[in-house]
Amino acid sequence: MRCGRPVKEETMENTKQQPKILSMPLPAILDELEKYIQQVEEAVKASKEAAALSAKRADEAKLAGKLAGEAAQKSAEAAVAQVEQQLSKEIAALKDELHAVSLVADGALALAQAMNRGIAMAVKGYNAEIDALQPERK
């Protein structure tokens, strides 16, 4: 017993299991490290390829979005043009209708004015006849 510990504990501490790689000879450790480095390099390469593919897909998505936006804009412009054309036709039809109503109203006004003149002339004539029939007042 050294330093107050039983011998049995000393042997247990000395026989603790070491990591597998540390129990290997140096050439085997170097081989393991080389394999590990190779795996890391392959993982880095795969990551770079994935990042490049992701960037390419992002560019393709951006282009597709831009094309879709342009198509939507053209579609909207065509729809607006179609609505404007339809409105122009309807406005022209309303103007034609308004013109026709205006012509009818002008004709009705002219007729009413002619009738008023005729009535005024008739009244004037009747008044003249009435005056002629009445003895003169002094």
Residue 49 CA to residue 53 CA, distance in Å, equals 6
The predicted-structure confidence for 64-98, as pLDDT tens digits, reads as follows 999 999 999 999 999 999 999 999 999 999 999 99
Q: How confident is the model at residue 47 (pLDDT cuts 50, 70, 90)?
A: very high
Q: Per the structure block, which two tokens stand in for 37?
A: 């480095």
Task: Please indicate, yes or no, whether the overall pTM of this predicted structure exceeds 0.75.
Answer: no
- Residue 7: C-alpha distances to residues 10, 12, 101, 127 (Å): 5, 9, 125, 159
CB 10 within 8 A of CB 2: yes
Specify whether the CB–CB gap between 1 and 7 falls below 8 A.
yes
pLDDT digits (tens, 9 = 90+) for 19-40: 676 777 888 888 888 999 999 9
